[in-house]
Structure 1
Amino acid sequence: MLRTIAIGVLFLSAIILILIVFRKKLGWGWLSLFGTHLILAALGIYLVNFSGLITEVYLPLNPATIGAVTVLGLPGVIMLLGLKITLY
C-alpha cells in the first residue's frame, strides 16, 4: 500500500515537472548546463580523491556528495573536505 502511494507521488511529480518545463518554455538549455555541472562535480571529487595532496581524506562518489558539489560548485568540494576532516 505504501509503495503504491510512493509510486503515485513520484509519477505525479514527474508529470508536473514536465508540464512546468514545457509551459515556461525553458527549453533544453538548462539540461545541458546541469549536465555540465554534474560532470564537473564528479571530476572535482575524483581529483581530490586521487590527487594525493590529502592522503587521509576520501570523498565517496554518491548522489549526496555529487549533488552538494553540483549546487555549490568548488566551495562545495572545500565544504565536503572540511566536514570530512572535522567529523571523521
Structure 2
Amino acid sequence: MLRTIAMGVLVGSAILLTLIVFRKKLGWAWLSLFGTHLILAALGIYIVNFSGLLTEIYIPLNPATIGAVTVLGLPGVIMLLGLKITLF
C-alpha cells in the first residue's frame, strides 16, 4: 500500500516537472550547465585523489560526494577534504 502511494507520488511529480520544463520554455540549456558542473565536480575529486599532494587522503566517487561538489563547487572539494581529515 505504502509502496503504491510512493510510486504514485513519484510518477505525479515527474509528470508535473516535465510540464513545467516544457511550459516555461526553459529549453535544454540548464541540462548542459548541470552536466558541465557534474563533470567539473568529478574532475576536481579526481585531481585531489591522484595529485599526490595528500597521499593518505582519498575521496570516494559516489553520488553524495559528487552531488556536494556539484552544488558547492570548489569549496565543496575543500569541505570534503576537511571532513576526511577531521573525521577519518
Distance 1:56 1:46 in 2: 14
Q: Which runs of 5+ in 1 are unaligned?
A: none
Residue identity opposite 1:4 in structure 2: T
Which position in structure 2 is the counterpart of 1:26? 26
- Shift in Å, 1:46: 1.0
In the TM superposition, 1:54-65 aligns within 5 A as: 54-65=54-65
| Residue 10 of structure 1: aligned partner | 10
Distance in structure 1 (CA, Å) of the matches to 2:46 and 2:10 = 31
The runs of 4+ residues in structure 1 deviating greater than 3 Å are none
| Structure 2: tracts of 5 or more residues without a match | none
- Count of matched residue positions in the alignment of Structure 1 and Structure 2: 88
Q: State the one-letter code of the partner of 1:36.
A: T
